[in-house]
Structure 1
Amino acid sequence: MNTPLLGLDWGSTRLRAYRFDEAGGVVEMRALPWGSRQLPAGGFAEAFAQAIEGWPRAPVIACGMVGSRGGWREAPYLDTPCRLDALAGALAAVDAPDGRTVHIVPGLRDPSVPDVMRGEETQVAGMLAQAPTLAGEVRLLMPGTHSKWVRVRDGAVSGFTTVMTGELFALLREHSVLGKGLPDGGDDHATFARGVAAAQASGSAGGLSRLFSTRALMLEGVLAPASVADFLSGLLVGDELRMALAAGWASPGVPVQVVGEDALCARYLLAAPAFGLTLQRTSGAPAASGLWQVAAAAGLLHGHSHA
């Protein structure tokens, strides 16, 4: 089977490699632990060689932190509002030792905040390719270490906001007086919901004003040590949704499309009803789809139209 394209979704903590068929389907996927912050001895070049070992020679496209200032080669940001088809005209290129050229998708910058993203822009392009009726106007939530609330209008990313919910959770859980040294716990939905309710009840003061209640509840015996992580998760996810409502990133009755890892998205879906928000899970592999779409628009697919 002909392989017209190889794609890399290359973030700060992991690398996913895709081998595509002629219809843009993924026929093979590999996951490696080589993010931009953790690379093998040979750096980006060695990680790349491992990712595509044994695969046919084909054009290569990559997105994510591989194009950051500390990446393999920096791909300068495009400013919003930015039509997603503009990504194809701004690819950066880096030559791998085996003679292949890796084309890197640029990130986006919202100059009004300012704010930046890398990798999510390709996911947005892929999601809209899978659901083109949403391109007129849609709100997206992309949970992760750094959650992104993205606004799309007329096929362009008109703006976005980053909330560091995932990183704050990790810092509080591993390094703060609230969570350090405590057991991991399980998937306690009731305690998670209690944290969400605490965020909702915080009102204009916000979830930061309720963080220390985590310790007080544990000292009082109301919150078991193994449940602290779930309470903190609910408090932080709930506060993110409270902020989204207050800032107008989301509105009751207007669905928000959620793009991301299943387990994390499930937590946001659990928390949303408490704020009257409607979140809809987006299926498929938007990063892979986005890489294919950008490659096609850039004319990288041999024997394919350059739409």
Structure 2
Amino acid sequence: MTLLDCTLRTGGRLTGGSVPLALAADYLAVCARLGIDVIELGSVHDPADRSAPRGALLPVPLPERYGPRFSVLLDTARLPVTDAAATASAGRIADTLATGPVSVGLVRLAVRYDRVARAAAPLHLLREAGFGVCLFLTDIDLASYPELDRCLGESAALGPLDAVFLVDSLGSLRPERVIELVQSTRAAVSAPVGIHARDNQGFALHNTVVARSSGATWQDAAVYGIGPGAGLTRTEQLLALLGATPTDLAPLLALIATHVAPLKQRYGWGAGPRQVMAGLARIPVASVTGL
């Protein structure tokens, strides 16, 4: 199993820039002791895109002989439409990552399930530049059976991938649908399958475990579920389910008490009525009004 922790990225989305430096430094020290495999630093953008948010990738000091790998997320919807322009944009991103303060080894390309072809050109460029590449298939619960077949066929045609992530963008996934999606993806794509579960309906941890039992070998989580809206699978709960002892988790729980719980008081992520209703209706939270 590969555990990818999204705390820095989803926490940065929540705060509109980046998490506090003190939180980032203490978090990185804790992750090195917990056996987390990959840490997602943030979202990455073409430096030529002046409208892109800044400050997502933190130049924080790392503990000596640091273990986990680092990833970033690239939203392909922000790239140019033509292959040539998208390739050029991905080249600038690759150059930025290569000269950054932290060695990034993995890029996850977020793409809607019905637009996988848009990811092809930047994905090939990044793979040729030496990065591991993953697909991060958003809105996947909305795909009909023919659309899912087409999506997975296009994904398989992209060549070697580190993983293909099924993203519960709307917090709408139910366990039976998770099983169906994981099994279909495993049958169609040779890459490992991952799950990114949101907690609108209180199913994030359960869906992550169900995905794992169905053959998904990559799991996303975030400390205390930190992230916009209802938040994600909670790292501390997933680790406990996987066998971590109270002693193992003590530094992480101290991090939550010191740094993350105060952020929750300020930003208030979690499954309130609007998030629950949006998940049930399979629509964005912003579309739910009057609650």
Provide TM-score, normalisation by structure 1.
0.27
Q: Which has the higher helix share?
A: 2
Larger Rg: 1
Q: Which has the higher strand share?
A: 1
